[in-house]
A and B are shown apart, each in its own frame.
Chain A
């Protein structure tokens, strides 16, 4: 499970596909209060989310004054973790990278920050991001500066990963994909071994979304790249793990709906919010009413996804990717995911013993179009009380910590032949003939033994 701390909704970028347009942010202007965030974070930390990874997010989190940022890092770093006075001792961060400088680097070192930098490919491909994507020349220039920031991070041994959105402009054909892979190879050469490649979804720019064929192609290439160069680009690593029977990851395959997501946020004024993707619709606070059930999950299971053999590892996908922009529908990338999972199913079958658990061989009965039968109840209200909106018991953000860490990069990542945690890919420590993952941000493998190489 992941907690994202949102110290500000403001952002210095105006990415073309951003799900939270800058006009909306301007109108929002949630007042920042360190004390309120502290209160909110402790409230969340005292419940089932205790022990989750905590990610500084935004907006652009580095836009808060550096003194405040340090206070926030100190707060997160010192969250109690486990017993015997231990603390979390690590932080993840997602940033557009524009404000990275020596002062921030010093903080990253002090607070063991895993930095996830948002960038969609080499400078000439990363054209939808930036302070002004309409100005191509300026955007390319800005991207060159950003590449310098990545080198700065790595020169200082800061664990770094990349949050990349793939779309037609950077992965729409063979040539573009090749450029993307070359860039990934360069990143590896400076010690950035992974990150995340999420498909772009935008109801404003849907002509730039990858179609099924394109998305499957680029994902297969990334999978092959991971294998060849021993990198850890997600979601391919997560997909492979899920196909082999692990818990569904990333978080968008865990049955969320618009009003109650698995990922939880602490807003600038300390209120508890949902996953930042819900911000696109103006939902900043978790539902006042409701229970643990996700109506979308229940509905999809019986309707659009009924009988799908990938249901247990998909659950309809991310609600924000819903077909036609409707959060109630299954993900618009359904067909692509099915194809890539089928491909991975074959690949893993060759690579590993047949332990594929999450894919059901049984196809459920298709839902019928029946309506209710006679009932003595037309339309009445019952027990519509506040249910307390309790937190989800279990969720996997996958992307833990949000910025990087799990897939990214430890300072010594360049070394190969390590035995690694299959979840976070950090080096495992040998204990009593087995191995354990000691990464405090790893969601599920505190005591993982016998990891495969």
Chain B
């Protein structure tokens, strides 16, 4: 298996741009984390992926407890930068380890999230002989392994996008399906392996590696209506935390840009910066051109 350890790199186009945008980018991270947490706290979704950091776990646990929420750890992973397509499981706990787990408003959903996510099925807390309900819909737990559909539903991801994830990421092996999202987008122009789209900036995930991101999952297209509703709620919460940074994030997402995947590396040419990040192996180069 070809695999490049997760990394992110970026260089701004100029010193002036860097001076203006780098502080904003740092604030965007904060606003995103705020929105991610508040989406659960305020009941927009049942669960959130919540990682305990070795340097900050005391404050994180305190926050969860004071907010009356529940947290269940799922696994230990080695740290990595940027976006990983998997966890780097470990048994140790040290400064290089974080705890991946689920945050919920009540134990019932925390257990469901936990049980859908554990690799070792013996570690499941409950038995799932019977179907169960999430948001008024009936689900059954995968008896053979991780249940991405249940996890996605608990995270509030729309059904069409969960299905897309299953088909592209799980079955298709597209670990970063930007091109596949572009192909599904209304009005796309395709030439060879290059897709040109004018999508919804709320759903633009082409520059998430550097923090510019208003949605935590892969919509099935860059104009998925269900995903937009999710992103709008997310964005409002971000604005509540830091309006200027959130608006800047939306602005950056709405600029023309070119994303490409070649030889396991993602490269993005954006008006503000150039960046690269780990991708996954494809035999050919894939390109997405984004127009506002």
Contact = CB atoms under 8 A, between A and B. Distances in A.
Contacts of B280: 371-372
Given A368-B1, A379-B217, A384-B29, A285 B12 contact: yes
A199 interface: no
Contacts of B84: 377, 380, 382
Contact of B85 (A282, A293, A370, A379): A379
B15 A269 contact: yes
A302 B10 contact: no
B87 A293 contact: no
B265 A299 contact: yes
Contacts of B211: 381, 384
A9 B86 CA distance: 43
Contacts of A375: 85-87, 146
Interface in A16-66: 28, 30
A369 B84 CA distance: 19
B8 interface: yes
Contacts of B165: 378
B285 interface: yes
Given A283-B274, A288-B22, A377-B86, A299 B218 contact: no
A380 B86 contact: no
A379 B146 contact: no
B169 A385 contact: no
Interface in A347-394: 367-372, 374-385, 387
Interface residues of A, number: 51
B10 A259 contact: yes
Contacts of B237: none
A375 B218 CA distance: 16
A287 B83 contact: no
A329 interface: yes
Given A289-B81, A290-B7, A376 B263 contact: no
Interface string A288-315: 1111010110111011100000000000
B263 A299 contact: yes
B272 to A, nearest CB: 11
Nearest to A285: B11
A260 interface: yes
Contacts of A302: 2-4, 264, 281
A372 B85 contact: yes
B210 interface: yes
Nearest to B74: A376
A326 B98 contact: no
A257 interface: yes
B18 A285 contact: yes
A28 B15 CA distance: 10
Interface stretch (B132-140, B170-178, B193-201): B170-178
B262 A328 contact: yes
B145 interface: yes
Interface string B252-288: 0000000000111101000000101110110101000
A269 B16 CA distance: 12
10 contacts: A258-B267, A285-B18, A290-B8, A295-B278, A370-B2, A374-B170, A378-B217, A379-B176, A382-B79, A382-B81
Which 6 pairs between the two chains have the least Cβ-Cβ distance?
A: A371-B173, A290-B9, A375-B86, A287-B9, A259-B9, A299-B264
Given A257-B9, A285-B15, A378-B148, 10 more contacts: A259-B274, A295-B4, A295-B277, A296-B265, A298-B4, A303-B2, A303-B264, A368-B2, A379-B176, A381-B211
